[in-house]
Amino acid sequence: MAFYRPPAWQKPVALAALAAACALPFVLEAIDQAFYIGFATRLLIFALAATSLNLVLGFGGMVSLGHAAFFGIGAYVAAICQQAGINEALLVFPAAMAVAGLFALAVGAVSLRTRGVYFIMITLAFAQMVYYLFISARAWGGDDGLPLAGRMTLAGFSLAGDNSLFFASLAALTATMLLFGRLAQARFGRTLQAIRENETRMEALGYPVFRYRLAAFALGGAVAGLAGALLANLTGLASPNLLQWMQSGTLLVMVIIGGVGSLWGGVVGAALLLGLEEVLAGLTEHWHIVLGLLLLGVVLFAPRGIATLFGRRDG
């Protein structure tokens, strides 16, 4: 392992991608395909959720199978806030992050005392607990989930337009990528990566290993909560399906396909998975088979993920 260092191509490529993303809604409108703005927003939101898992899994080395819990909690916090009459995203989004982050802190405080397969199982168990809690909570819609009456406002501006929600999601993803990219090179990120490589050695250097892991786990949970709140705005529903272990699995697959521990892994994985689903589902109803083959191909030929195929590996 070497510490994460941004490859030379990253800055220009990132800026170009950002510029292209900013132009996208207008291009889609110009060619009468505005329908795809919603899809692009969905992609950004899942990229954000997968990126948050990649902090935990890729940089922290913690294989969590319960990440969807934080994602789903973010969505429910948004819906519940709206039900309570709070419709301002500047209040709701931080609240979603805080609740998801605090819950992650509690889950992490227990789970991070275990290792390996026990950690996977205990994070899964916590997430399923949350899932069953929400499907049995009648006040919050039970099985059906909790619908939103409409989209929220952000600093007074309505997110009702597809473009505004797209740009809000893009801003959230950009800020997260910027933070994680810096974090990975800063003291915290290096500590985290070194712990991933050799926990005992770090302890013998005087590091309270547990605390750093827990902080990363909670930060990942908070960002997943933000993604959930954005998704609730997009789909107009906080669904219990978001909390289910299948969802955690999907996020894991995104990160693994994209590149575990590579800054762009979550983005690339989410784009690839959702993009393929969109294209293939139109052609055949057996698109999952193609997806399976892709996953197989990645594990066999690019075990560090698609993102690492470009330029020098940056894990």
Q: Which is nearer to other proteins, 184 or 230 (CB)?
A: 184
Token pair belonging to 142:
């039970």
User: With CB under 8 A as the contact rule, which of the stretches 74-82, 166-174, 206-214, 305-313 interacts with other proteins?
Assistant: 206-214
Q: Which is nearer to other proteins, 116 or 206 (CB)?
A: 206
The answer to whether residue 267 forms part of the interface with other proteins (CB under 8 A) is: no
Question: Residue 116 and residue 125: Cα distance in Å, rounded?
Answer: 15
Sole binder of other proteins in the list 89, 112, 183, 234 (CB under 8 A): 183
- Using the Cα atoms of residue 297, residue 264, residue 50 and residue 124 in order, give the sign of their dihedral: positive
35: buried, middle or exposed (CB in 10 Å: 19+, 13-18, 0-12)? Answer: exposed
Q: Which is nearer to other proteins, 88 or 199 (CB)?
A: 199
The answer to whether residue 188 forms part of the interface with other proteins (CB under 8 A) is: yes
Whether 166 and 22 have beta carbons less than 8 Å apart is answered as: no
Residues in CB range of 232: below 8 A, 6 or more apart: 74, 75, 76, 78, 79, 148, 238
**Three-state secondary-structure class, residue 88:** strand
**Three-state secondary-structure class, residue 113:** coil
Sole binder of other proteins in the list 212, 217, 245, 264 (CB under 8 A): 212
Whether 246 and 30 have beta carbons less than 8 Å apart is answered as: no
Sole binder of other proteins in the list 186, 289, 296, 299 (CB under 8 A): 186
Whether 98 and 224 have beta carbons less than 8 Å apart is answered as: no
**Three-state secondary-structure class, residue 237:** strand
User: With CB under 8 A as the contact rule, which of the stretches 167-175, 207-215, 253-261, 270-278 interacts with other proteins?
Assistant: 207-215
The answer to whether residue 191 forms part of the interface with other proteins (CB under 8 A) is: yes
Q: Which is nearer to other proteins, 66 or 189 (CB)?
A: 189
Question: Residue 255 and residue 235: Cα distance in Å, rounded?
Answer: 23
Shortest distance, position 10 Cβ to other proteins, whole Å: 14
User: With CB under 8 A as the contact rule, which of the stretches 76-84, 148-156, 197-205, 290-298 interacts with other proteins?
Assistant: 197-205
The answer to whether residue 11 forms part of the interface with other proteins (CB under 8 A) is: no
**Which residues contact other proteins (rule: CB under 8 A)?**
1-3, 179, 182-183, 185-191, 194, 197-198, 200-209, 212, 215
